Amino acid sequence: MTNTFKLLGVASTFMVLATSCNSSPSTDGQNAGADSTLAPVETNAPNSDYQPAFAGQTRVGGVKTATDYAVTILSEALESPWGIAALPDGRFLVTEKAGTMRIVAPDGALGEAIGGLPKVNADGQGGLLGVTIDPGFESNRMVYWTFSDNTSNGTVTAVGKGKLSADERTMENVQVIYRASPAYDGRLHYGSRILFDGTGNIILSTGERSDLETRPQAQDLKSGLGKVIRITKDGNPAPGNPFEGRADARPEIYSYGHRNVQGLAIHPETGDLWEAEFGPRGGDEINRIEAGKNYGWPTITYGIEYSGKKIGDSIQQQEGMEQPVYYYDPSISPSGITFYAGNAIPEWQNNLFVASLSGTHIARLVIENNKVVGEERLLADQGQRFRAIIEGVDGALYAITDGGRLYRIGKK
């Protein structure tokens, strides 16, 4: 099937069989379950000679979806979309990097830009980033988002909130409720996804701003950089956080030692928090987040500098620092992630789906007992940088790309 096609109307369904959705040479034309003996989907050489800490930590065996499913391009008209949230009525809220938020209909029709949002700094990796809705949205219409905010000392990852007006044209009573200080005069590594946990508090992620001078702040409990943060709807540290009451740590910190976290998701059965973060040249990580734990960056890593040099003492394991559940070398640049909780494709239940930027695919990770036991690459023939993925209220997956596309991936 050709990869070149024209949109017919608003949406174009161009694939209907699972066998046409996976371009990996090692799995074409085969179906397999989680106990698959298919070859790993990654066939390129790693950047380093680092060895995994345990079997299955990287390059696990491939799997192949057996269920027929359809992939539909709903829109190609978005402008650098970054975040997406499902509304209760089946529509979506989508953020665009330059600072626009809009509602998108299930058929891909785009609404007008929503007014009232604060200005963002869209230089480099900044802009209007993650978005989520209040668990009580149907009654309170509250929306929360992350963005790169200008301050007198540089930029920060910030959290805004507002009430979507009844006519859906503006955000009302907008407030900036949290800023991940210190500010830094840089253009990289803001994070940032945002979601609600099971207690009604907000989880968000920040980057360590990339540069050598800011990297150590990922290990600094007095800094908001390189962290997973847990706050209330008003932006205060959430009660029960692991560093609550400690003078040497910020009470909003939930976990630390992160590089650039752009993926957050909660497991639909266990309630565990999972994240995805960028490594440098190799060393992208999938982590299961536990309160108060140190995830190692930049002390331990499976990546190397973009120049090819080793990072720090070139170690991958250290006592008191968590190992990733899974890592990638070479990098796939994992951005948004989601667990599948739907019933339409039972074999996908509780699988983690990872939007991959430089890898230009969606990774499907089969997870058992908190370990990855199988991996598949979806939509690898599309040549798209996948920025975010969520499950819609209809039980299908929806993904956005840097190139402006919105995809629906669901039962045929």
Which listed CATH number (3.20.20.140, 2.120.10.30, 3.30.750.200, 3.90.1170.50) goes with 12-411? Answer: 2.120.10.30
Contact 158, 148 (CB under 8 A): yes
Residue 33: predicted pLDDT:
42
Q: How many CB atoms lie within 10 A of CB 276?
A: 31
Residue 325: predicted pLDDT:
98
Query: Which residue, 359, 361, 293, is CA-closest to 324?
Result: 293
- Helix or strand (DSSP H, E) at 137: helix 137-140
Q: What is the pLDDT along the chain (412 residues), one digit of tens a residue?
A: 333 333 333 455 554 343 333 333 333 333 334 445 699 999 999 999 999 999 999 999 999 999 999 999 999 999 999 999 999 999 999 999 999 999 999 999 999 999 999 999 999 999 999 999 999 999 999 999 999 999 999 999 999 999 999 999 999 999 999 999 999 999 999 999 999 999 999 999 999 999 999 999 999 999 999 999 999 999 999 999 999 999 999 999 999 999 999 999 999 999 999 999 999 999 999 999 999 999 999 999 999 999 999 999 999 999 999 999 999 999 999 999 999 999 999 999 999 999 999 999 999 999 999 999 999 999 999 999 999 999 999 999 999 999 999 999 999 8
Residue 389: predicted pLDDT:
98
Please tell me the pTM assigned to this model: 0.93
Specify which residues 304 forms β-bridges with: 281
Alpha-carbon distance of 145 to 178, in angstroms, equals 11
Contact 183, 153 (CB under 8 A): yes
The CA-based dihedral angle spanning residues 100, 195, 327, 227, taken in that order and rounded to the nearest 10 degrees? 90
Residues present in the chain in total:
412
Residue 16: predicted pLDDT:
35
Alpha-carbon distance of 172 to 98, in angstroms, equals 20
Catalytic residues: 189
Alpha-carbon distance of 74 to 9, in angstroms, equals 9
φ/ψ of 40, rounded to 5, equals: -55, 145
Which residues lie below 8 Å from residue 355, measured CB to CB, with a gap of 6+? 263, 334, 335, 336, 337, 362, 386, 387, 388, 389, 399
Residue matched to tokens 């946990």: 197
Residue 36: predicted pLDDT:
53
Alpha-carbon distance of 187 to 223, in angstroms, equals 18
Contact 400, 102 (CB under 8 A): no
Residue 142: predicted pLDDT:
98
